[in-house]
Amino acid sequence: MTAVATPERASGRGLRAWLGAHPLAGYAIRRFGLYLLELWGAVTVAFFFFRMIPGDPIQTFIQTLQQNYVYNAQASAEVIARYRQEFGLDGNLFSQYLHYMYKVLVQQDLGPSLLNYPTPAQDVIMRAMPWTMGLLGIAAVLAWILGLLAGALAGWRRGKFGADLVTNLSIALSHVPYYFLALILTFVFAYQLNWLPARSAYDARLQPGFSLEFIASLLRYGLLPGLSIVVIGVFSWLLSTRMLMVPVLGEDYLTYAQAKGLRPRRILTRYALRNCYLPQVTAFGISLGFIFNGNVLVEQLFSYPGLGATLVQAIGILDFNTIMGITNLAIFSVLTANLILDLLLPLLDPRVKYWR
């Protein structure tokens, strides 16, 4: 007796057949679905984590109003109720979560910020983001590029005096905290030599704009915090790149390339380094979150008005809207960067297989 396929089975076989015929599309669909699941899970965990921190931000805000403004104490209950509703703090924790997700996903609104009430939290974050991206973003990219190139050379010329010296120096300094090096640089160049400023992002006497004087002030004030991040970052990426480079040097295809008479520079850049930078690209995507919140102490030390300093201020007064905004921005950046890298790796390296 011949079995008749049901529509569900037919459609199922049709979908599997289509995915089998289009492996890249199937890989992208599955990876994007996993990305959405990870994004939702990370945001949910962050929401409940911060909401479970002990303390009442509204009571703190009301006390500030009482100290600084004319305040009617008899109307405090009504005022507190209105502020709780406005900040999404009324109801139980689950109803707060549903309200927050609706505001963020449907209305694209993070709510007001306690740091600068009634300014929306997204405006506070957007004002701080260019400083973080301009300083820490450029410093992180520069450290990755210099560390990748220096690590490749240190691995390629292993056994030489210069390569061994740089490697040992990197081992000694790669785990030094950013802020410790920042303190040393500040003490030497700001207080002892008086060459560079120790605090702020630009000269307060200048009007922000695209003038050469203001840009020069930005570079001068950002040199010390940027240098503290670049130096430690270069040492860290140098060690990891060298660790990937040394095992590759014994491969047969490099020996064959040398036997063909190719120049050492071409062998290094087109063959050896190509097999080392792919893991480093993935690691750099994972490290993007530290651009937003991993260098908080550096921004605090130099009074730099970036996202890290804003996050510290928001945590101090339990400004949940601003805290969640910065945290979600870091989560979104890291997961999106890894999604893009996962989609590009099969195109960059044929050894990376699609999901089956």
Give the pLDDT confidence of 289-331 residue by residue, as tens digits: 566 555 677 777 787 787 877 888 888 778 888 888 888 888 8
Q: Is the pLDDT of residue 9 over 60?
A: no
Phi-psi region of 293 (alpha: psi -120 to 50; beta: other; left: phi over 0): alpha
> pLDDT confidence of 2, banded at 50, 70, 90?
very low
Average pLDDT, stretch 41-65? 79
Q: What is the pLDDT of residue 10?
A: 43
Q: What is the pLDDT of residue 294?
A: 53
Tally Cβ neighbours within 10 Å of residue 201: 21
Q: What is the pLDDT of residue 57?
A: 75
> pLDDT confidence of 75, banded at 50, 70, 90?
low
Where is pLDDT greater, at 260 or 328?
Answer: 328
pLDDT digits (tens, 9 = 90+) for 107-125: 788 888 887 777 888 888 8
> pLDDT confidence of 70, banded at 50, 70, 90?
low
Tally Cβ neighbours within 10 Å of residue 217: 20
Average pLDDT, stretch 179-198? 83
> Dihedrals φ, ψ of 112, to 5°?
-70, 160
What average pLDDT does the structure give for the chain?
Answer: 77
Highest mean pLDDT among 4-8, 144-148, 162-166, 348-352: 144-148
Q: What is the pLDDT of residue 289?
A: 59
Q: What is the pLDDT of residue 352?
A: 60
Alpha helices (runs of H) in 87-160, residue ranges in sequence order: 93-105, 121-132, 138-156
Q: Write down the residue that tokens 């260098």 correspond to.
A: 295
Q: Is the pLDDT of residue 8 over 50?
A: no
Contacts of 96 (CB under 8 A, 6+ apart): 51, 88, 89, 90
Average pLDDT, stretch 114-142? 82
Average pLDDT, stretch 207-219? 79
Tally Cβ neighbours within 10 Å of residue 246: 15
Distance from C-alpha of 57 to C-alpha of 29, rounded to nearest angstrom: 42
* Helix 76-86 vs helix 57-68: crossing angle, to nearest 10: 130
CATH class, range 128-316: mainly alpha
Average pLDDT, stretch 231-253? 80
Task: Look at residue 112 and give its three-state secondary structure.
Answer: strand
Tell me which DSSP letter residue 72 carries: -
Q: Is the pLDDT of residue 7 over 70?
A: no
Tally Cβ neighbours within 10 Å of residue 270: 12
Q: How far, in Å, are 95, 337, 349, 356 from residue 25 at the CA level? A: 38, 19, 17, 12
Length of the chain: 356
Tokens representing 32 are: 């994007």
Q: Is the pLDDT of residue 350 over 70?
A: no
Residue % of the chain over a pLDDT of 70: 82
> pLDDT confidence of 11, banded at 50, 70, 90?
very low
Rounded to a whole number of angstroms, the distance between the first and last alpha carbons of the chain is 33
What single letter denotes the amino acid at residue 116? N
Q: Which helix (H) or strand (E) holds 9?
A: helix 7-21
Q: Decide: 223 and 211 in contact? Cβ < 8 Å.
A: no
Q: What is the pLDDT of residue 37?
A: 92
What single letter denotes the amino acid at residue 59? Q
Mapping DSSP onto H, E and C, the string for 297-340 reads HHHHHCCCCCHHHHHHHHHHCCCHHHHHHHHHHHHHHHHHHHHH
Domain borders along the chain are 128-316
Q: Decide: 276 and 245 in contact? Cβ < 8 Å.
A: yes
Q: Is the pLDDT of residue 6 over 60?
A: no
Distance from C-alpha of 212 to C-alpha of 205, rounded to nearest angstrom: 14
Distance from C-alpha of 178 to C-alpha of 287, rounded to nearest angstrom: 15
Q: Decide: 302 and 224 in contact? Cβ < 8 Å.
A: yes
The partner residues of 163 in beta bridges, in order of sequence, read: none
Tokens representing 11 are: 């459609």
Q: What is the pLDDT of residue 153?
A: 82
Average pLDDT, stretch 89-113? 82
Mapping DSSP onto H, E and C, the string for 168-204 reads HHHHHHCCCCHHHHHHHHHHHHHHHCCCCCCCCCCCC
Average pLDDT, stretch 77-100? 78
Average pLDDT, stretch 69-76? 56
Global pTM reads 0.75
